[in-house]
Amino acid sequence: MSSRPKDRSIDTLKAEIDAYLERERQSVEKRIRRYPPPIPACDAQFNFLLEERDRLCRQTAALAEAIDNAPNARAAAKALAALAKQIGIPTRA
């Protein structure tokens, strides 16, 4: 992460997105653990859960990248707001 100062609202939004993604990932992991043994590549629901877990991991990586690659606080806030909208997290205007 860069050493530039960050705006508090950016930290708050990042924390909200990160918490949301972590809750979703834990939910998917829990469902995967409880899922009955599937027949490999034949169980659409199990394969969906695996894909969902991978999607959440990619979104978590995108969150870190949005912060790390932003040249300033305003750009970071804009990138985080776009990511929150893409994920479906309502943000304050």
* Full pLDDT tens readout for the chain, 93 residues: 444 445 668 888 888 899 999 999 999 999 988 888 766 667 788 888 899 999 999 988 988 888 888 888 888 888 888 888 888 887 664
Residue of 69, 89, 78 lying closest to 15 (CA atoms): 89
Q: Which one-letter DSSP state was computed for residue 39?
A: P
Given a contact cutoff of 8 angstroms between Cβ atoms, the answer to whether 25 and 60 are in contact is yes
pTM above 0.75, yes or no: no
Given a contact cutoff of 8 angstroms between Cβ atoms, the answer to whether 89 and 16 are in contact is yes
Task: Look up residue 65 and give its two tokens.
Answer: 């990248």
| Domain definitions of the chain by residue range | 8-87
